Structure 1
């Protein structure tokens, strides 16, 4: 099927039902020939609830028992198959997909981006995030967990609100935050992709403009990758700041463990990549928000070689302390002279997060 003949889908994600429902209703009003499909998770009953409606009213509402009432299961088992089934009927001009609360559009887009045969009758036209402007700073930089907000997630879902909401904003083509003030708009501009649009209400957006397709999968993926080599936009004003720490040097494994709290704590958003002399071929991911930081293994470095780069967004006054923490983790001139950039070690203390050290395989690639 020609991509232009596929049914456009507008994805609506968020961390609270009220702003998401408001945006979904506004999209339905602007697109009377569209169908809306809403997915909700009831983790207590382990049930996924699907509601389908259009301008003529309710079409279908079913409850589906799922073995694990989680976001990933919902997307895999029903969200994508339902969107494809509705698109294949050819009955509607577009589909509005109200995702489960805390479900990221990234999960849907990657299924369709990497497995296009899974849904040959549809295309993602826009990834939209609906948030509440009055709580924006706490939602994007605070230390609440999803379970602490009483959101419909499993008790063992330990994701933070800030890491979830910030990741949504970073991937989005459009962010709508109701009652948005200047400080909130500034914070969103610091976190969001540079060409993403930010609006203070659904009334500011003409939904029909979204249907030709403002979402570009590769473009969105490039922005949210752990390894980013290109320059970031320059920010010259506003309360929110962006620190772009970058070096060709690796982190010292021991000092990283000692200083990770200093670099990652606080009400900020941080993400990027780093490398270690003890594992020179391994891309190490850094992902932090609201004082919580996770590090983990990615793939191997590409032909451009290893890079340490962490970008931090914040609104406090600790920028000098963060700079000191970052630079203190890097190998010093003396250490480079004594041991070099690549170490042959049996252990570096980071195995619980990064897996086993692999003996410096691939050192010759950057010697």
Structure 2
């Protein structure tokens, strides 16, 4: 089968450096890239390149007014064509700037049918740009990076999902400065200028704390090709991002960067938490996890914040709220995670939020979160009384249907 590697990332120069390295190192490697910058005009431009430069190009129309949908529709036939041709030894799928790797990885993994196989997914990262990207609350549309007219994502949360999904991160080594206009699909190499200093330790520490389980490898590392073609499990990658079973960052403090993991067993008072949302969303460069509202005692809620933008989502019931027979349908990863954190009174219900940031005010975050929990008297009133508390989250979790 034709091996396929996906290279993602908002850091365009770092991403292109990874693609160029793979094209140079693997004979018969081909880079496939869909440029979504022309999507407002109704088309997506596709390019193919090898180690010598551009070999083919074409256009595909938008699907459902969505550039990412067009990418998905065009990607599989192109990979099939490369596989059937018999000359390609490695297909490198370079995703456009704001395309998130998970959806593309799952498409490739599901449609290989013995002709091609997803063997690696990576995000290319410039350590010096991690904090600026993670703190950027601009809409993608404002930055010229929207993948569809209705794309409402922001730069920070898009970058966070790109960064936290792959098991391998490739780091720009900081020894070259890219020349504007370098071909995205493996054209002329960027001119390089040697510098005497490597990445700032604080930048590397932030990257480490944001995704501590990832393997981080420089783009110049001799083992790069082996690291990116070692195999990839989409189910395991998805589980790592699911708030119910994710291995969230652990407590850390180094080079001015801090990770604070806050836990509690009693639920939040919905009105007090709602009032504190803005301050909590802006308290750290990145925060994520799961939480429990008193007036929704059976509902697992996700917390996902970056760049001051916060997304909360209903992920269905806690395991403790399910009948025993229904637990047989729950993925093994979630069962294992719940078993490790099971409480005899409330089961897997609880608060688990991780805050990662330079200059994090740990005491302030802890005090604010603690103040949002039910008081002793409120907790003692029990679930029936909790359900009657202020429903401040209804507009976020139960949007009105037009």
Change in Cα spacing, 1:341 to 1:288, as seen in structure 2 (3 Å) is farther
Contact 1:129 1:174 in 2 (8 A): yes
* Matching residue within 34, 42, 46 for 1:46: 42
- CA drift of 1:300 comes to 2.0
* Matching residue within 347, 352, 357 for 2:395: 352
* Matching residue within 87, 92, 101 for 1:91: 87
The yes-or-no answer on 1:72 pairing with 2:68 is yes
The yes-or-no answer on 1:13 pairing with 2:8 is yes
Distance 2:168 2:247 in 1: 22
1:24 is matched with 19
* Matching residue within 134, 150, 164 for 2:144: 150
Contact 2:287 2:306 in 1 (8 A): yes
* Matching residue within 51, 58, 61 for 1:62: 58
Distance 1:94 1:190 in 2: 32
Change in Cα spacing, 1:129 to 1:212, as seen in structure 2 (3 Å) is closer
Distance 2:127 2:360 in 1: 23
Secondary structure of the equivalent of 1:8? strand
Q: Report the TM-score, using the length of structure 2 for normalisation.
A: 0.78
2:233 is matched with 216
2:354 is matched with 311
- 1:173-227 CA distance string (max 9 Å, x none): 2223322322111111011141x22234x21253431354243323322221112
Change in Cα spacing, 1:36 to 1:341, as seen in structure 2 (3 Å) is farther
Q: Please, which moves more after superposition, 236-245 or 316-325?
A: 236-245
Distance 1:77 1:231 in 2: 34
- CA drift of 1:299 comes to 2.3
Distance 1:151 1:231 in 2: 28
Secondary structure of the equivalent of 1:125? strand
- How many residue pairs get aligned? The number is 348
Q: Please, which moves more after superposition, 228-237 or 119-128?
A: 228-237
Change in Cα spacing, 1:9 to 1:341, as seen in structure 2 (3 Å) is farther
Change in Cα spacing, 1:190 to 1:71, as seen in structure 2 (3 Å) is farther
- 1:54-86 CA distance string (max 9 Å, x none): 346544211112145645313422224433442
Change in Cα spacing, 1:145 to 1:119, as seen in structure 2 (3 Å) is farther
* Matching residue within 205, 214, 231 for 1:186: 205
Q: Please, which moves more after superposition, 222-231 or 35-44?
A: 222-231
Distance 1:119 1:48 in 2: 26
Distance 2:246 2:145 in 1: 36
Distance 2:273 2:231 in 1: 40
Q: Which runs of 5+ in 2 are unaligned?
A: 175-198, 321-337, 339-347
- CA drift of 1:277 comes to 2.3
* Matching residue within 239, 250, 257 for 2:256: 239
Distance 1:136 1:231 in 2: 18
- CA drift of 1:269 comes to 0.5
Change in Cα spacing, 1:7 to 1:301, as seen in structure 2 (3 Å) is farther
- CA drift of 1:45 comes to 1.0
The yes-or-no answer on 1:162 pairing with 2:162 is no
- CA drift of 1:30 comes to 1.1
Change in Cα spacing, 1:326 to 1:83, as seen in structure 2 (3 Å) is farther
- CA drift of 1:306 comes to 2.1
- CA drift of 1:26 comes to 1.4
Secondary structure of the equivalent of 2:292? strand
1:252 is matched with 269
Alignment of 1:284-323 (within 5 A): 284-303=301-320, 304=338, 305-323=348-366
Secondary structure of the equivalent of 2:254? coil
Distance 1:285 1:300 in 2: 12
- 1:225-284 CA distance string (max 9 Å, x none): 112376754535332211111222221111111111121114510111112222222221
Q: Report the TM-score, using the length of structure 1 for normalisation.
A: 0.85
Q: Which runs of 5+ in 1 are unaligned?
A: 1-5, 357-367
Change in Cα spacing, 1:222 to 1:205, as seen in structure 2 (3 Å) is farther
1:360 is matched with none
Q: Please, which moves more after superposition, 15-24 or 164-173?
A: 15-24
1:128 is matched with 122
